[in-house]
A and B are shown apart, each in its own frame.
Chain A
Amino acid sequence: MEIIFKKSVQDRKGVSLPALDVPTMISVEKKYGRTRDADLCELSELDVVRHFTALSRCNFGVDTNFYPLGSCTMKYNPKVCEKIAQLEGFCSLHPLLPQLRRGGMLTQGALAVLYELERVLCEISGMDAFTLQPMAGAHGELTGMMLVAAYHRDRGNVRTEVLIPDEAHGTNPSSAAIAGYRVRSVPTNRETGVIDLAVLETMIGPQTAAIMMTNPNTLGIFNSQIGKIAECAHRHDALLYYDGANLNAVVGKFRPGDADFDVVHINLHKTFGTPHGGGGPGAGPVGVKKKLEEFLPISRIVKRPDNTYSLNYGYPKSIGYIAPFYGNFGVCLKAYAYILLLGHDGLAEVSDNAVLNANYVMARLKRSFDVPFDRTCMHECVISAARQAKNGVNALDIAKRLIDLGFHPPTVYFPLIVKEALMIEPTETESKETLDAFVAAMEAIAVEARENPSLLHDSPVSTPVGRLDEVKAARDMDFAFA
């Protein structure tokens, strides 16, 4: 498919304006004028319509195909949540309104949504207070680490290090480093797939500010020693941080607050009903225990004795502003709608099905692929193409071949501790028929990897563009068409 500029034909137009029959009123000083043509493409309306319609048909998403991109939770989200977010009363609000004189009374509905969402997130996570402001998961992590720093500063603790398991999402060490901490990596036990308490005990000390945990972790395995890990952290006055990236596996089953986590972030967009991808929009609310509440970002939404809502800026120990206004309101609204739609039992069932689907896929793929941590997984499973790699077919080749067969590839080469990793997250919204079709495609690829490896090296062959040169893309970055 050609880019639109290549379709340009000199003097072709999409509109015909009548000749100017009045004097020109605006004169532009020469120094502000263009020195050369704007190089816009010249096309008819039909050219433009066909071009963009053709582009839209190339789009690939949950609405068109199965999308088991591990760790990203690309599940189907009910369209009714979108409808709710489009309600005029919500989407026409100006974010400055609550700060204007008497403007707060005109935004009571939106403030009520935020206030109530904070309450239900407290209930879901077992925490005492929330801020909804962080705009994404990593932003939530940074906010959480800033809260950790504020806590230690307030107590006069000098802490320099954050401990993070080696399978963690890369954002964990990044967030801790941006917040000013040195990161130390805790090794995963090769047998159990989780970190060992005994190893942690040798690494923790008076220098440790926090331990960042994702539970279940990126191998899709739940660390059942978490109570003891929390006890170990608190013995050293270190805080325990819960990365909620995988909360969708345990909603209604396990509350981080009950396991003595001190700070939690939740990816509303992954867990609660917002379609995402392509970088957003997201929301990464942060929940804390009582001892950290005074440090939460401002403003905070409070309920007055007369049951109206307002914004409160009066928290002298707050870490301050971390986002403009109140976060991604639309994402918060959709999450609130999703949570109310499903209720406690419905959310628990979401987790049940997410876990069941992942285990089903893992069990069926065991015959054709290696499973490095062969135990019951949670919402995602990690398989390895190590067996196929011996025949010159890597995880990347398998991923590319899946595109030809109509599936979005799983995450590849993550977590880093698994060779030739393929990380599959089917999500709860897929039917058994879809999962069976995916397994059949994977099995067919395993056969091809044995019998016709060159076919896999050339894939995808059915797409508008074939195998992309990822090396060139990374080494010679050039984003502009010229």
Chain B
Amino acid sequence: MAIVPTPADRKYTTTHEWVKVDAGLAIVGISYHAQKALGDITFIELPAIGKKVGKGESCSVIESVKAASDIYAPVSGDIAETNTLLDAKPEEINKDPYGSAWLFKITNFNGADLAGLMDGAAYDAFAESDK
């Protein structure tokens, strides 16, 4: 798979989630770098709709052939929607981590939580140093 450029239209966490605000919702996924480090993804447990999440709180579990990892909410708020496509096709996360394989959407989110997150360029530098 070719290296996918890091989109500039969203923010990134040090735990390798991305968050993008669209139509009043904070859409959350994991980075290309994260899916590559995890390897082939075999399962994802998404949060329940309506669940309240705090910034930095573990709210989802992702499993690959190598490991199981927590996904942390980049912003606090309520889970509005989860990506049901991933239940049957977790491998989409490997194929299209920035597009069709978003994980969940957060509503009533705290916009101030976005301020401390990295932009695409800063995340690239961070991911490089994390290798």
A residues touching B (Cβ–Cβ < 8 Å)?
A: 170, 386, 412-414, 416, 419, 470-471, 474-475
Contact = CB atoms under 8 A, between A and B. Distances in A.
A119 B40 CA distance: 48
Contact of A471 (B40, B68, B69): B40
A475 B39 CA distance: 13
B74 interface: no
Contact of A419 (B65, B69, B91, B131): B131
B122 interface: no
B51 interface: no
Contact of B67 (A416, A470, A471, A475): A416
Nearest to B42: A474
Max chain B Cβ within 10 angstroms of own Cβ: one of A170, A413, A419: A413
Contacts of B65: 470-471, 474
Contacts of B29: none
Nearest to B40: A471
Contacts of A170: 68
A475 B69 CA distance: 17
22 contacts: A170-B68, A386-B131, A413-B66, A413-B67, A414-B67, A416-B69, A419-B131, A470-B40, A470-B65, A471-B40, A471-B42, A471-B65, A471-B91, A474-B40, A474-B42, A474-B43, A474-B63, A474-B65, A475-B42, A475-B43, A475-B90, A475-B91
Max chain A Cβ within 10 angstroms of own Cβ: one of B65, B69, B131: B65
Interface residues of B, number: 13
A364 B131 CA distance: 25
- Per DSSP, chain A at the interface is mixed
B66 to A, nearest CB: 4
Contacts of A475: 42-43, 90-91
Contacts of B131: 386, 419
A474 B62 CA distance: 13
A412 B68 CA distance: 14
Contacts of A419: 37, 131
Contacts of A414: 67
B104 to A, nearest CB: 21
Contacts of B69: 416
